[in-house]
Structure 1
Amino acid sequence: MDMDLDSALRRLAEQPLHPRLAELEGDVMRLIAAEQRAGSGVTLRAGMLAAVGAVALGVVGGGLSSAAAPAQMPTLTPFGPAAPLAPSTLLALQ
């Protein structure tokens, strides 16, 4: 099928517009507004539920991880005040 795009577009431009085309924008805007009114309560409730669930999950997860942690063992820090294996403390013992 050999079709010249320019001539096809020219024929399309010469055709009269559909009568409902002028009302299309208003119809779309009315549908969008109706959808926003209908869904605003649901969206807000879902967002609040997600926020409360996230906070609860964080609190429970934080509580479980701190409860499952073993008793704090002394750490060996080279510059900290309590360094029992530091060379200066080992030399002082001899």
Structure 2
Amino acid sequence: MTQMLDINGILVTQLGDRIPCKLVDVNDKGYLVIYALDPVEINSRLQLMTNSPRINSVIKVTSSDNSGDSYVLEALPEEPIENIRAKIVEGKIKDIIDH
């Protein structure tokens, strides 16, 4: 069983548009699962930016499904997935220590 993440961020398009999003999972296949408020084209290259944990990675969208009030994206990051997982764990530890 995986724990659902709840990491707020933005997706920045190549035109500089900002789309609010939430990173909710890093699945076993190495894909990021992201909820976005606006539609995103498959094969789009976007920049995923979050504050806590600090993630700043270029991603390529591999699937996009409308789920009512948001869009569920699967995307592959350009940086190794292990780096993103490490940042998430580091952020959770920091949150525990700070609270």
Higher relative contact order (CA 8 A, sep 6+): 2
Q: Same fold (TM over 0.5)?
A: no
Structure with bigger helix share is: 1
Task: Report the TM-score when normalising by structure 1.
Answer: 0.22
Task: Report the TM-score when normalising by structure 2.
Answer: 0.21
